[in-house]
Amino acid sequence: MHPMLNIAIRAARSAGSIIVRSLQHVEHLEVTTKGRNDFVTDVDRLAEQEIINAIKKAYPDHAILAEESGKQGDNEIMWVIDPLDGTTNYLHGFPHYCVSIAVMVRGKTEHAVIYDPLRDELFSASRGGGAKLNDRRLRVTKKKELAGTLIATGFPFKYPQHLTPYLATFNAVFLQVADVRRAGSAALDLAYVAAGRLDGYWEIGLEKWDLAAGILLVEEAGGVVTDFAGGDNYFNQGNLVVGNLAIQQQILDSITPHLTEELKK
């Protein structure tokens, strides 16, 4: 295993244990609002600090981009951290959230860890080395048609201006598939596509820390990830369409007619 992946795994596990231990006090947590419907707690901050300390100890020169503390350092290697993806779920006691850590080298994710501390599920990947859930190798599903598929999505809770086009894309996808899930953690949605638990996924308006680790997991599990223009500008655009080769293309074809120019940029 690459030493950087090893550090990422250890950091994700210790952040996970902070998250689970703090569950007992979740009703008493002080919640601040970062933006519209966007919440942050001391648990996010503590877990993030734990991860940053672990990285800095091993790699003091590497750059870090973290959801709660922003960017620090300047290096071609950058660790992209979401200490608690699914904070809204966490605050409600809805048991679905994770830690996400990606190591990016010159803008490309090379190592990825997504850790679900409640189920003790560790999703990991290194570029060219495949994706794993704990010790098991992962593969995206083999479905060829949208009929019968289970697809995940996210709602544009932060961007009400995208709600109308989003709902049009929802309509278009929903009418062709078995069902759609909105579970509230983008990183776990991506990990679940990699694990073959979901056949595909699309969402508007993600941040780099939501998607950096998950995209490598999907790719290493044999899946395809694009932005809404069918390209690979998703880090800047924040919009994702994901699935195996056939399903990804069919979701993209289904949503494209409903997208505004802004969403395709």
Residues that bind Ca ion (CB under 5 A): 82, 85, 210
- Residues paired with residue 40 on neighbouring β-strands, in sequence order: 32
- What is the smallest separation between the CB atom of 211 and ligand 2AM, expressed in angstroms? 9
- What is the smallest separation between the CB atom of 44 and ligand 2AM, expressed in angstroms? 8
Amino acid at 70: G
Q: Site for ligand 2AM (CB under 6 A): which residue of 16, 117, 154, 196?
A: 154
- Separation between Cα atoms, residue 132 and residue 130, nearest integer Å: 7
Does 184 interact with ligand 2AM (rule: CB under 6 A)?
yes
Which x/- pattern over 30-49 shows residues binding ligand 2AM (rule: CB under 6 A)? Answer: -------xx-----------
Query: How many CB atoms within 10 Å of residue 227?
Result: 20
Q: Is 164 helix (H, G, I), strand (E, B) or coil?
A: helix
How many residues are recorded in the chain?
A: 265
Residue 111 · residue 22 · CB < 8 Å = no
- Separation between Cα atoms, residue 52 and residue 80, nearest integer Å: 10
Does 161 interact with ligand 2AM (rule: CB under 6 A)?
no
**Contact of residue 224 among Ca ion, ligand 2AM, none (CB under 5-8 Å per partner type):** none
- What is the smallest separation between the CB atom of 184 and ligand 2AM, expressed in angstroms? 5
Residue 160 · residue 208 · CB < 8 Å = no
- What is the smallest separation between the CB atom of 205 and Ca ion, expressed in angstroms? 11
The footprint of ligand 2AM (CB under 6 A) covers 37-38, 67, 82, 85-88, 154, 157, 184-186, 210
